A and B are shown apart, each in its own frame.
Chain A
Amino acid sequence: MNRYIKLVNFEFNRFLKIYLVLIGITIASQILGAIIRSNQYLNDMNDLLYEQLMTREAALEQLGKISFYHITQTVWFMGPIAICIVTLLIYMFFIWYRDWFGKNTFIYRLLMLPTARINVYFAKATTILLMVFGLVAIQLLMLPVGRRVLQWMIPVDFRVDQTIREILTSFDYLMILFPSTFYEFVIHYAIGFAVVLVVFTAILFERSFRWKGIVFGLIFGAFAVTIFIFPVIVQAFILPEFFYPIELFALECIAGLVVVSLSIWTSNYLLKKKIRV
């Protein structure tokens, strides 16, 4: 356990610089985005009121009130989220390959540690999970910040104030990151975590068998996906509507557990017996 925590801490600190940059980009871009979008709205409104000499009612009729929804629609808001997602996706691979292709083959030392090798695998997976949750938390904190910026810049008669919940429900993509209940939150991120474990196993296949390993890895991935969607396939094509929703949910949970166990078991085996340095 102690070893594992040390390994997580080590992996975490190794990525910390880039991670802080990601956080910095997110904060800066989203605040800037709120300012720019609010400014743009003010300009448009001023134009209607003072250039085109519309009444306030007519101008509001035409332009509408501004809400945080308008800010979430901008590239300033969505851009950093996309950058964070892509960076972490790349890092999911890089977290392994840097140990082989770094200055000195660091993997050699990692695998020689006086602890079960699977701990390395768990530590890397935990790190990814920690990073994901960290960014999710930052994003959650940024929503009230951005909203406050909007409130500072726009007079109350021209804006619609939304609660955090309303901001989230008004925008589908955010609902994936922050589903409305904690159960769904657990389900979304459990699936994400399972994907990380499957990808890690595929990487270990490649690291064990090189070119041939890529094929093995892809087969393993396809196999994992098949297991996971198997209950849904049965429900859709083989026994139409046979299972009740709660049963299908239970079956999906079992299928997910099978995929995760299979990944861990395979990775353990590969790390112990087949891995090449």
Chain B
Amino acid sequence: MNIKRYWKMIATLSVIVLTIGTFYIQSSFAASEFPDITFKTVSGSEEELDNLTINASYHEAELYQRVTINRQGSTFQEQLPFYERFFGSSMYPEINRYEKDYRNFMRGKVGGTNLFFEDDSVLVYADVMYEGYNHNTRITDYSFNIDVLDKQAVENHSTELSVPNGNDYAWISVEDVQIVQDKLIVITRNQLSNRSGDEEKEEEVHGYTFDLETLKLENNQELLSIPRGDEESFSRLSMMNDNLNVEPEKYFLISKVVMEQGVLEESHEEYEGTEMEVNEAPNNMIATEQSIFVYDYETAKMEELNLPNELESLLESARVTVQNNLIYFMNQQEGSLEVTSYNIETEQIDIEQTFNLNRTSTHEPFIKINQDRLYLITASSEDIGKDIDVMIASLSTGELLYEGKIEVTEKDNSTDYELFINDIDTK
């Protein structure tokens, strides 16, 4: 082969290989130049961090990266193996685990952890699908899509059946799935449509009970409903259980708030004649009634909670979360967080603890309760995205078990970054 005849082509080829090669070799090195993000312990036992994973966004110059931080260190999205990054993975770690362990069962199942239930023997998936408008029957149809996996036998049985009175609803969403003995219970929020002919109601909460063996619908219970809102008043429901929890639960809690037009202030003339969106609470709407309803899965009964006055007054300002038979009220004061828990069964206040936040002004802290542990992530509101504290405390004793900071070590020592917490996971 005469090299002279080919020199132009060879030169081009060399330029290509060198340039593109260098670029991608450099890129692969660049991935290792991400900063190390670690927990810097101030006091307490580092073992407390074992269950904690923080999902955050890291921002520096033009770079936005998702990053997960745990005791072992940090993993940036770009440091993941190519195939995971190329397609992404579920945002729920629980679902990622199911996809690994029950690969075939999980095929075709999309959605969040609210659609799943898991105990030692079964994994259950239940969703309501919108089947569309049937032109022949002139009916909008929804169907339950239920699949139960027996973990020991590695067998599943599934069913698809129509939701009763599906035509009445504009939207149905599954809120929780539970198993009590041989019954499968699916809790849904059903938004009424204009077709329903029901002028009064806006939304219903339903408990559908199925036989676990036959998957036949045995009971359709309307647990709660709210009236259609207007300009004077409207109601709002919110589901209080942690929808990331797939494990067995005894109670399902719903909070109901009634908003009413307050005493109009002097500027009220401006409002007259203008139509107000019902969903947007105008400034002069005030909560006139706040209550919590508890559904007991075992007895299939719905009851309104009789909260002590001191807790009732907290309903408006505090964040509320449920774990087993305890309701936690978390009230943020200046520089501290008060946690009060109320036992549904004994109808007593269980614990009252105050945790010092060590700073007076913070962004809304991230709070997570898992068993006896309170996880608290607070970020400074002055030094945005840089100064982040991590606290882990025991709820029963009020003792501070771990205190630390999130430390970012830049490879080039720059401080031109911001770190924003998206959520925390304590599994």
Q: Which residues in A have some Cβ–Cβ distance to B below 8 Å?
A: 2, 5, 8-9, 12-13, 16, 69, 130, 133-134, 136-138, 140-141, 160, 162-166, 169-170, 178, 180-185, 239-246, 248-249
Contacts and interface: CB of A to CB of B under 8 A. Distances in A.
Contact of B20 (A136, A241, A242, A246): A136
A249 B109 contact: no
B82 A240 contact: no
Secondary structure dominating the interface of B: helix
B107 A241 contact: yes
Interface in B57-87: 61-63, 78, 82-83, 85-87
B108 A241 contact: yes
Interface string B12-41: 110110111001101110100000000000
Contacts of A138: 15
Interface of B: 1, 5-6, 8-9, 12-13, 15-16, 18-20, 23-24, 26-28, 30, 61-63, 78, 82-83, 85-89, 99, 103, 107-110
A241 B109 contact: yes
Given A160-B61, A164-B23, 18 more contacts: A2-B1, A9-B5, A16-B8, A136-B20, A137-B18, A137-B20, A140-B20, A163-B30, A165-B27, A166-B61, A169-B62, A169-B63, A180-B78, A181-B82, A240-B110, A245-B83, A245-B86, A245-B88
Contact of A242 (B5, B86, B108): B108
Contacts of A164: 23, 26
Contacts of B23: 140, 164, 178
Given A140-B19, A166-B63, A182 B103 contact: no
Contact of A181 (B15, B16, B27, B99): B27
B55 to A, nearest CB: 20
Contacts of A160: 61
Contacts of A141: 19
A8 B89 CA distance: 43
Given A166-B62, A241-B109, A134 B15 contact: yes
Contacts of A162: 61-62
20 contacts: A9-B5, A12-B9, A13-B9, A16-B8, A130-B16, A134-B16, A136-B20, A160-B61, A165-B27, A166-B62, A183-B82, A184-B82, A185-B20, A241-B110, A242-B108, A244-B103, A244-B107, A245-B87, A246-B83, A249-B86
A242 B9 contact: no
B9 A184 contact: no
Contact of A180 (B13, B19, B27): B27
B16 to A, nearest CB: 4
B63 A244 contact: no
B6 A9 contact: yes
B127 to A, nearest CB: 12
Contact of B16 (A16, A133, A170, A244): A133
A165 B78 CA distance: 13
A192 to B, nearest CB: 14
B12 A12 contact: yes
Contacts of A180: 27, 78
A170 B20 contact: no
Contacts of A183: 82, 86
Nearest to A19: B12
Question: What 3 A-B pairs have minimum CB-CB distances, sorted nearest first?
Answer: A245-B87, A137-B19, A166-B62
A273 to B, nearest CB: 31
Given A9-B6, A13-B8, A130-B12, A240 B20 contact: no
Contacts of A163: 30
Nearest to B22: A140
Contacts of A13: 8-9
Contacts of B110: 240-241
A242 B61 contact: no
A51 B417 CA distance: 35
Given A241-B107, A241-B108, A249-B87, A130 B9 contact: yes
A217 B260 CA distance: 69
Contacts of B9: 8-9, 12-13, 130
A183 B82 CA distance: 7
A128 B233 CA distance: 69
Contacts of B109: 241
A136 B21 CA distance: 12
Contacts of A184: 82, 86
A29 to B, nearest CB: 19
Contacts of B83: 245-246, 249
A137 B16 contact: yes
Contacts of B27: 165, 180-182
Contacts of A140: 19-20, 23
Nearest to A166: B62
Nearest to A246: B83
A16 B12 CA distance: 11
A162 B61 CA distance: 8
Nearest to A161: B61
A182 B27 CA distance: 9
B1 A137 contact: no
A246 B85 CA distance: 11
Contacts of B86: 183-184, 245, 249
Contacts of B13: 130
A137 B108 contact: no
Given A133-B20, A162-B62, A178-B23, A242 B107 contact: yes
Contact of A182 (B1, B19, B24, B99): B24
A82 B107 CA distance: 42
Nearest to A182: B24
B62 A170 contact: yes
A197 B78 CA distance: 33
Contacts of A245: 83, 86-89
A33 to B, nearest CB: 20
B131 to A, nearest CB: 13
A73 to B, nearest CB: 14
